[in-house]
Every structure is written in structure tokens, then in C-alpha cells.
Amino acid sequence: MRIRKTDTKTELSGDWTISGVVGQVDSLSHSLIKLSSARNKKVHIDCGGIDAIDMSGLQLLHVWLECASARGIKAILINLPEEMLLTIDRLGLGQCFTDNYPEVA
């Protein structure tokens, strides 16, 4: 699991399954600090590099998005891989991401 911030977006990549997210809370916490300090409070979260995601990864992503929102950041998910969309649908988690990616509903 990797998080990379550029000037215009934040890119998520790698393994967002239980084995990939264990121990990554510090990375997510640091990325929230960087997002909070940016002038632009609207950020695109590019999910195109996510290789695999499961319930654990989606839960972590949801909590991260909620924390960003609590800090006044409007995070918009872009480039969701088909596998990610299918996993969201299969697990019935669409309602968790409608504020960040309305097409999931």
C-alpha cells in the first residue's frame, strides 16, 4: 500500500487487502496532515494504482475519507479500478462512498 501526494492529487496504489494495510496507519495519518496543510481543500484521490482491495482496505479508506472530511477536506475518488467497484458492490458498501464517488451508489 502506497500513498503519494502531488500538487493536484493524491495517488493510492498497491495492496489494500488485510495483508497490505497492516501497519500503514502511520502513512495515512501523515498524509492527512499534508492534506490539511494544503491551501486547496478539495482533493482528488486517484485509486487507479490500487492492485487489490478487500473489506479491510475499504474500511480503512472510508475512515481515512471521514477523517479528511472532519478536517474540512473534500476528497473525491477518481479512477476506481473495476475490481474495486465490484468489491464495493459485492460487500454492500456503496453508501459509504457516495459522498466521495457518487457513481458507487
CATH of the domain at 50: 3.30.750.24
Higher pLDDT, residue 53 or 9: 53
Single-letter amino acid code for the residue at 40: N
pLDDT tens-digit series, residues 62-78: 999 999 999 998 999 99
> Per residue in 32-90, pLDDT tens?
877 777 777 888 999 999 999 999 999 999 999 999 999 998 999 999 999 999 999 99
- Contacts for 70-74 with beta carbons within 8 Å, 24 or more apart? 71/32, 71/35, 71/36, 72/36, 72/41, 73/35, 73/36, 73/41, 73/42, 73/43, 74/41, 74/42, 74/43
Total structural domains within the chain: 1
Cell digits for 39?
491551501
pLDDT-derived band of residue 27, with 50, 70 and 90 as boundaries? confident
pTM of the model: 0.85
Domain span including residue 20: 2-104
